Amino acid sequence: MQGELEKAFATIAGEEVFVRGAGRTDKGVHARRQGASLRMTSSIRADQIVLAMNSMLDDDVAVIAAQEMPHGFSAKRHSVGKHYRYRIYQGAAKDPFLAATHVHSRRHLDVDAMRAATQHLVGELDFESFRSVHCDAAHALRYLWAVNLHEKGRVLELEVRGNAFCRYMIRIIAGTLIDVGNGRFAPDDVKRMLEAKDRTQAGTTAPAHGLTLEEVFYPDTLDGAGIPDDAVFPGFPVTEATWPPVGLSQV
């Protein structure tokens, strides 16, 4: 995605630009409202950028909004948190219309057991057991304020909201919960996995195509984030030191 955006911007603005996303996503993961920032000297207006970009991008990428931001704004550094969904289709036969965005489970999962397991994943925790051994983050301490399961007919959706995520973290959480739903682990085993701080103790890494980044939260878009009033984590509560005044370029 980054390369496609940069190529289109270079054509539109007549200058080389560097697009920086709010975070990276694994190959095969979808993004509905990814955030990105860039600097350019062109005088093209934000509303013109949306129309011009979408006339050039392939069908699998779209720019839905563009906004001028203060000098120094960073889509990654100034984000407060992210909202992900992992989608599972349960049924003996797969649904071809959902195959690109849903992981197929031939058996109906024990959702009650999975919900019990999610209770161990909420709060500020060390997710060392739930990140790739190749993750280059300095540590795995993360704050998750929502880990919920929603069942809609044959579709089961795992919703996760948190301040930041390690490499493969959501996919390992999803895979572990699916393992719980299949009876491989008991709900309380998740607590043991967290305490072990050892990737080999957690469950499967779920396939990438079932995961979607739904939204990146910024200080001015927190109304629907659902962050608890008493939450404290890097970048929250928002202060003047962590959020610039309104006033140069986000896509």
Over its length of 251 residues, how does the chain's per-residue pLDDT go in tens digits? 778 888 888 888 788 888 888 887 888 999 998 998 988 888 888 888 889 889 988 888 999 998 888 888 889 989 999 999 999 999 999 999 999 999 999 999 999 999 999 999 999 999 999 999 999 999 999 999 999 999 999 999 999 999 999 999 999 999 999 999 999 999 999 999 999 999 999 999 999 999 999 999 999 889 999 999 999 999 899 987 777 655 433 44
Q: Look at residue 233 and tell me if it is in a domain.
A: no
Give exposure, 230-244, as e/b (b: 16+ Cβ within 10 Å). Answer: ebebebbeeeeeebb
| CA separation for the pair 5, 10 (Å, rounded) | 9
Q: Look at residue 25 and tell me if it is in a domain.
A: yes
The total number of structural domains in the chain stands at 2
Structural domain harbouring 39 = 2-78
Q: Answer with the one of 46, 78, 110 that is the final residue of a domain.
A: 78
Catalytic residue selected from 26, 60, 110, 179: 26
Q: Answer with the one of 34, 49, 78 that is the final residue of a domain.
A: 78
- Mark whether 26 is an active-site residue: yes
**pTM of the full predicted structure?**
0.91
Do residues 53 and 92 share a domain? no
Q: Answer with the one of 78, 103, 125 that is the final residue of a domain.
A: 78
| CA separation for the pair 109, 225 (Å, rounded) | 28
For the record, the structure tokens of 125 come out as 């925790």
Q: Look at residue 230 and tell me if it is in a domain.
A: no
| CA separation for the pair 234, 137 (Å, rounded) | 15
**Residue 218: CB atoms within 10 Å:** 21
